[in-house]
Chains A and B, each alone.
Chain A
Amino acid sequence: MTEYGQDEILELIWSLREGGRPTREALLRSTEEESPESLLDELESGGFVDLASDEIRLTKTGEERARGIIRRHRLAEVLLANLFDLEDSQIENSACKFEHVLSEAVTESVCTFLGHPPVCPHGKAIPRGECCDKIRTEILPLVTRLTDAGLGDTVRIVFITPKSRKRLEKLSSLGIVPGSRIRLLQRNPSYVLQVGETTVAVDRDITDEIFVKRT
């Protein structure tokens, strides 16, 4: 599991750097890995870190790898916190596993799906990915919040993550349920939706909880 261990060390270096200077001493103090010294050596010989001075520096390749790990970890945190309302401890545990397994394509889908969040639930910056760039030639058919759906486009509801059960029941009695086709008619002053022949006005916090896919 050295790759796993390397990831953890790189992640820690990135976090320490956000809080100030990532020194070797600070790293050894905070790490939970069993043999951090040998992991650091592995990373150095792999060309990811530069251990010449007391402050650990990331090389260009090391920077890129760490960036990816942090990005996957924090996106996973947002995903788990926003969608599943999990407790902080559970989020941390699962996010730590996500960061090692998500492929590039999946990460981009998750990021787009979450609306390219700039920060994690703890308020730390999420490194941007290619998918966050606004100017692109092709638009991928991904799941987005209804809030971000194009005006007048017909979209299909994939799922709803309501704050309360009552809200979910109310929406479902109006025909706003996973699977139904829906059109966003306007955003201001309130969000107005069309489901079948029913027109419904709702608040933004509700459209934020409805996830849709272009059809």
Chain B
Amino acid sequence: MTNLSQVAPEFVEKVILVGNPNVGKSVIFGRLTGRYVNVSNYPGTTVEITRGEVRDRGRLIEVIDTPGVYSLHPMSEDERVTRDILMSEPGSAVLQVCDAKNLRRSLMITAQLSEMGLPIVVVVNMVDEARERGVMPKIEKLSEEIGVPVLGTVAVRGKGTDRMLSLLPEARPACVRIDYGELVECAVSEMEKLIPDDSPIGQRAIALMLLSGDDSLSAWLATAISENRIREMNDVRNGLVARMGENIAYHVNQKRIQWTERLLVRMGIEASGPPSNGMAQRFGRWAMDPVYGVPVLLAVLLIAYGFVGAFGAGTLVDLLQNRLFGDALIPAVKRVADAIIPWEIVRDFLIGDYGVISMALSYAVAIVLPIVGTFFFFFGVLEDSGYLPRLAVMVDRIFKRIGCNGKAVLPLVLGLGCDTMATLTARILETRKERLIVTLLLALGIPCSAQLGVILGMLGGVGLTASVIWFAIVVGTIVLVGFLASKVLPGDSSDFIMEIPPIRFPQIGNLIVKTMARIEWYLREAVPLFVVGTVLLFVADRTGALAVIERVSQPLIVRLLDLPPKTAGVFLIGFLRRDYGAAGLYRMAQGGMLTHVQVLVSLVTMTLFIPCLANFLVIIKEHGLKVAIGMALFIFPFAILVGAVLNFAIRHLGIAL
């Protein structure tokens, strides 16, 4: 299916983590491999495959984390990723992770895994939550029923997880045989004859997928099956459709559900006290209540502003930029440089106008880092608490207007952290149309945390009117462009069917690890680009290229937007990193080079400006070069246009800022 099948032969064993969304696969992956992958409390955190390894008593085991699935009959891109990895990694064992509260749904996947003939170990996670609610199934009975090792865990606290590896050698295909009724069974056995013996997963599973009308198998079919065979397969399926209609997948699912129900009854539930209904769940209800939901949202925004805007962008930036860099570090470096470096050009390279230390490092570490750090921490709290899916419920109707549904709020809010990461997360949306709209809106109008922090800091200096205008224009643009895109782009929007996880108190350990991982990622990605950008500017400045760029862009920057020529350079580096561009504006404003109107115009233009390089690359990766260039060709003139109209309006309407 993919080139993934040719990886690393030195691994003795492979284990693939499979399960419903939001059951803790990534936490278990982390426990096994010691590698951190992003963990949150909402379905769809993992959209790609992550690989890691673990050594257990001399054996080297490769561990593969997969996106959560509702079914192995894929309905969205991330579900398909999981099904495909099961087909392309023959010889792997499967660690099926289940939610103890929702074992019913996990068992549906167990049934499908057993049809695939894959050896499995079942891990029933979150037994603490199931016991609290009085719905804990007797899982020791499960092992007897389906004949595979079953283990109860509380992965976030590390309970039971140390036994997972020792159970792996006992993994075997589950003894599950669901009778789908005579009609289907006849068709299955006919279909099985047409499927080669050496297919990567059980023929029964493939037969059922094909009969259910799974069109995502075509890539595999093209390589494995001859055209004649495919025609015969269609005959078998058409024969079945003629006798029982198109709802084969539904019928199959119904039979599986009946099997799970009977199995659960045979297993029974642990005796327990009355289920507790805590504060957390009450808050969970309020957060998506049409009345209480609004104050909850406002409170969340207020806390975000206080923590990220006031504490991060205010106190911490002041501490780092003015105290650490301004008062201590840069003067010290300057003294040392003056003393030991005889060449002026080298000194300028380090601490001049476009110096690596005075510009790149002080932007990256002193201005952007504290803002990104506080944002990532706060965002982590939101993710782990389970608030975000409730926000999706609140905004669903608004998002309908822009051709998406409430689910689209997840990538958009994540975009406030980093548009690049968020563009990847757009995969949780089911249709291409929705993914395109969200990708476009992310690239166009969603400022990333670093940029947002800098913008808020600057707007704070200009006043409330400017802040309101900026906010209204950005939100208005997002809604307008989303609305137009939903009319122009072909295709459908998907149903809003979204699982709401329980509200949980964030685990401080996970929060810290997650924030640190994101900060590390930020430093690794951003700082080199900051340095590269600064070096480019330094060279451009020295060679006179910067002057040329400023002159060429004069008609746009100076005439249309009424900004100082120097802004051209800032916009230029804004393409490398948007936050870097914003930080450049911040410096210019601090230096008194911008009037209030100019601050507002430049901020609006910068917010809507083309996405940064990394984001652009991810758009190419997800949607192809043509789409990416198309988006850039729309966004670039559009941003300048909005800036120009705003500039014109303010000056001619005489709005005082």
Contacts and interface: CB of A to CB of B under 8 A. Distances in A.
A177 B496 CA distance: 17
A202 interface: yes
Nearest to B212: A169
A167 B71 contact: no
Contact of A175 (B104, B393, B397): B104
B247 A165 contact: yes
Interface string A159-178: 00000011111111111011
Given A190-B496, A199-B499, A174 B105 contact: yes
Interface string A55-82: 0000000000000000000000000000
Interface in B92-107: 101-102, 104-105
A166 B431 CA distance: 12
Nearest to A172: B253
A189 B397 contact: yes
Contact of A169 (B73, B392, B500): B73
B84 interface: no
A192 B500 contact: yes
A30 interface: no
A165 B104 contact: no
A101 interface: no
A170 B496 CA distance: 11
B115 to A, nearest CB: 15
B272 interface: no
Given A185-B285, A201-B392, A201-B500, A196 B247 contact: no
B522 interface: no
Contacts of B496: 190, 201-203, 206
A178 B259 CA distance: 15
A200 B499 contact: yes
Contacts, number: 109
Given A173-B70, A192-B393, A168 B247 contact: yes
Contacts of A199: 499-502
A140 to B, nearest CB: 29
B488 interface: no
A197 B393 contact: no
Contact of B498 (A172, A185, A201): A201
Given A166-B75, A198-B102, A203-B396, A173 B253 contact: yes
Given A186-B289, A200-B500, A201-B496, A174 B247 contact: no
A35 interface: no
A188 interface: yes
B389 A201 contact: yes
Interface in B491-511: 495-502
Given A200-B497, A203-B495, A173 B247 contact: no
Interface in A97-126: none
B499 A190 contact: no
A190 B406 contact: yes
A201 B249 contact: no
Given A185-B285, A196-B104, A198-B105, A174 B250 contact: no
A174 B99 CA distance: 13
Question: What secondary structure prevails in chain A residues at the interface with B?
Answer: mixed
A174 B499 contact: yes
Contacts of B397: 189-190
A165 B252 CA distance: 13
Contacts of B395: 189
A170 B257 contact: no
Contacts of A200: 497-500
A166 to B, nearest CB: 6
Interface residues of B, number: 42
Nearest to A164: B495
Interface string B39-83: 000000000000000000000000000000011010100000000
B195 to A, nearest CB: 22
B608 interface: no
A99 to B, nearest CB: 28
B288 interface: yes
A184 B101 CA distance: 19
A196 B102 contact: yes
Most buried by A among B104, B135, B395: B104
Contacts of B130: 197
A169 B498 CA distance: 14
B394 to A, nearest CB: 6
Given A173-B71, A196-B102, A186 B288 contact: yes
A172 to B, nearest CB: 5
A196 B137 CA distance: 13
B190 interface: no
A197 B290 contact: no
Interface string B390-414: 0011111100000001100000000
Contact of B135 (A173, A186, A197, A202): A197
A154 B220 CA distance: 45
20 contacts: A166-B75, A169-B249, A169-B253, A170-B497, A173-B108, A174-B497, A177-B254, A177-B257, A178-B254, A185-B285, A189-B395, A197-B102, A197-B133, A198-B102, A200-B499, A201-B288, A201-B396, A203-B495, A203-B496, A206-B495
Q: What 6 A-B pairs come out closest when comparing CB atoms?
A: A188-B290, A197-B101, A173-B70, A199-B500, A173-B71, A201-B393
Interface of A: 165-175, 177-178, 185-186, 188-190, 192, 196-203, 206
Interface of B: 70-71, 73, 75, 101-102, 104-105, 108, 130, 133, 135, 213, 246-247, 249-250, 253-254, 257, 285, 288-290, 293, 389, 392-397, 405-406, 495-502
Given A196-B104, A199-B501, 15 more contacts: A172-B253, A173-B70, A173-B105, A174-B499, A175-B105, A186-B285, A192-B288, A192-B393, A196-B101, A197-B135, A198-B499, A201-B389, A201-B499, A203-B405, A206-B497
